[in-house]
Structure 1
Amino acid sequence: MKKILPVLIIIVSLVVTASVAIGIQRTKTVDWEESFNEKSNKPYGISVFYKELPNLFKDYKVRTVFHQPGSYLRANSEDSYGEHVAEGSFIIIGNSDYLENDSVDELLNFADAGNTLFISDYYFSQKIHDTLNIDVDYILNEKDSISYQSLKYIDIESTIIDKNEGDYYFARFDTINYHVLGHSKIDYKHVNFIHVPFGKGNIYLHLEPKAFTNYNLLKEERYKYVEGLISYLPENNVYFDSYAKIQTGYDGDVEKESNLSWFLEQLSFRWAWYTAVIFGILFMIFNAKRRQRIIKIIKPLQNTTIAFVKTVSNLYFETQDHKNLIDKKITYFLEKIRTDFNLDTSALNDEFIERLAAKTGKKKEVVKKLINYINWLRSKNEFFEENLIKLNKHIEAFYTT
């Protein structure tokens, strides 16, 4: 162990030095992927908005939907097997193109029953386009990367969305029955937020989901624009469609991400962590080889049965209580006959002698002498040492012959 220790120290030093050097040289980059993941703290995740939902709807239940909306809403409909009846507002931010046709049908039924569907995305499921008779188009931002977002009936200033290569807008919709609630502007205004009355309920479609991201909510006063969008939703329970189900499969439960995962994404920490684990294992292996706890010597328990028998025998012999010893020897012998050979010992007659000899395979003369002597002893009231010795000889002859 003494020879290995310096080598281990050198290896640890080299690994730690290398990990620190890599960490210093590594240029930190920002991930601008538009995931719209409610668990992501990256610029285009929506964890800030997701965490604020309970504050925006203080007196109501905010539930996260980790399944396809179709299966979830069917399960939580009247006379179904869900834990509650789904009523309120269903919110989808980004990634709505994963919706299957049966989920779109259930969402439309949900709205038709008097509830609210709110979707903010660049485009929607084709079934939504066909059902609501809408078309979405795109205009490229040729001057810079800035567009302006405004709401028609809410008194707030236009909100800037930067890092924006272009805008999506509604190129076709029912201008008589649908209500225009907001615009985006690059060169001129385009409708990007509409209200669709649907049955007894309402559908709100919005075309700039980046407004809900961490980057925009935490920059200047852009959160006011999102507050304006959400203000159209009624005061009721909220069902938030989770992005996580798209990553893990939306037919099952979503696994929670490990708390260690963020640290393992950091290169320096990952090197340090793996180094610590590897050398912890090596330390245990070498320690196990070189050290062993002292094994305590446990003496086996002594068999005191023979000593006890000798002590009791000596006690009876010293007191010259031959009658007691003879009675006990007869009792113990007959008990063994009953236990080993399942014979009735209540009548020690000729029939018993023949049956005992047959079952034990002993000579009939030996068995007869022993049983006759036992019967003779039982008829006596006074005993001597010779009687005890003779009984013992007969019993030993029975077991040895």
Structure 2
Amino acid sequence: MASGCNFKKKTSWNVTLRKEDKIPYGSYIAYNSLPYYFPSARIEAVSNAFRYENIDGKMVYHDDSAAMVVLNGLSFYATDNEVDNLIHFAREGNELFLICSTLDSKLAERLGCEKDDGESDEEMPLSPFNPGKKNIAALKMMGDTNKTYGMNGRSLQGFFVLPQEDTSHSNTSEITGADTAVDYIERNPVVVNSDESDDATKPDILSRGPKGPNLIRYRIGRGHITLLGTPLALSNYFLLQKDNRIYADQIWHSFPANISTIYWNDYFKRRIQPASFWALFDHPATSAALYIALITLLLYVLFEGKRRQAIIPIVPKLQNSSVSFVETVGRLYYNKGNHRNLAEKMVQHYLEWVRTHYYLNTNQVNEIFIQQLTIKSGLPEMVVREMIRLVHEVRIDNVAIDEAYLYHLHNTIQQFYKNND
């Protein structure tokens, strides 16, 4: 008998903010609700590896409409060129909606604000030390401050720190009274920033958290840069809580209605560039240390990197001591006048030398021996034949051996010795 069990899939409470994730802290609802708010817009998902310096004219320029780039994640970093491109994108009449917990310092400096995470971390799970109750009524839209939005969940505490100025002359504005965010934007149309050297005017505050504004909007040229400092405010879990859809409605409806294309990039945690050796040069401290190390290594290679080795003395070529010995003995016999005995000793030593150096059998000194010795020694055949003739004469004792004969025998033998050196 077969029986079946239904296993309930465990809910993942990880923060991903991915558009395809239906888990509590994914962004499936926010992404798939875009056609409801922008029915005429084309929605295109951009790879999380997309480099914003690659924003081209097709994304920037539109005849009678605008484009919107939605950057959804936690930690946002960008290069100088990417910051320039994003600001240029907005200046040309488009909308940049950046959702982040950590804001790149270069972009924050250009806009004139700071991002504070509110001493909380979106990735910190709920616990007795982090119960999440402080997020139940954390957010207020400036159009209706009596209405609060939130959830019994992870952090909605992030906010932006804006410059403190005289409020009577400040361009920083808030939505007050009976206005909604939509009403405020409709009555305050986009204006062109005539001084393009200033990246932004002072921002409009659209929403506040417990410690400060969490949703602000800068007018950049003919467009806007909107910053949301509480990324989980557009998560699935937040939007499924009672009345929180109204909060999302006011955010999306605050954007211009003429948006024709929406580029969605759920970068999550974006680094300046893929991890590589060259990424170290983007930080002044590490780049300076690397340059010093490279210069030091180069100097070492140039001046100290040579392989140190003791000088090898020149060893003189070994002399043939046996030949020297024979010559010494020969002088002794010569001085005593025993020329025949000396000639026999010279021939015997020569034949022994031929045996050890040319490996020839000297028992039969015949025509074959002469041919082999000629080849082995490399001397002319005439010299070899003369040497063998002298050997035969000394052996059979048929010639008178005087000083001249010994001199001729010695010179002939020396040709072999010298030729072998």
TM-score by length of 2: 0.46
Q: Greater helix share, 1 or 2?
A: 1
TM-score by length of 1: 0.49
